[in-house]
Amino acid sequence: MRPVLVVVAVFAAVTALLAWSRWLAGRRWAAAGHLVLACCAAATMAVGWRLAAYVAAHEEWVPELPVAELYVEQTGSSRYRATLTRLPSGRMQVFDLAGDQWRLDLRTLGWSERLVQFGPEPRYRIERLASRHAGSDQPAAAYDLAGDGGPAPPLSGLRIPDGTPLLEVRDVAGPWQPLADGARFALRLTAAGAVETDSRNAAAADSIASQ
């Protein structure tokens, strides 16, 4: 997307120079026309660049492949240390959780079918890790993992002529899973955009089976 926006920016600069040259030549209407084109191209580039930066803050979404692993260690009564490993990069983060259950929330980006023909791929971003006491609706601990991605830009709300969103942004909540000492879980995104949790060892399998 960004290479296309660079071309648009060059077009805006060239058109602005042409507008200036037409103005100096006394061709006022031609100068005004070129100036309007330059402003439209500049506005397109500015808005598009923000959208490109937002999309770049997300990872490529390959359905059914794990996006993260979570390893849990108990540190006290209803207290746990969770190690989150992002896949496939291997980046690790450690968090202190409280309660009996944990959940990972994600955000997915899906392009319209017409745009997919030109190359854009669906993407995702891990948004939040949270824990709670069983039966409670309030989180006992929550961590924002989105970083500097920020909210979706206004351009994402545009629709193509058939009414399909240019970019569909969905917040997806993972299922609540038990916190258990020594448990290792894997999380994946299905083709339908749901978050699924798989056990990676006996401790995780036993905790899921007992809930």
For residue 137, what pLDDT is reported? 86
For residue 1, what pLDDT is reported? 53
Task: Decide: 179 and 149 in contact? Cβ < 8 Å.
Answer: no
The segments of the chain whose pLDDT lies below 70 read 1-12, 44, 47-48, 115-116, 118, 147-164
For residue 162, what pLDDT is reported? 66
pTM metric for this prediction:
0.76
For residue 50, what pLDDT is reported? 74
* Residue ranges covered by each domain of the chain: 2-56, 60-210
For residue 86, what pLDDT is reported? 94
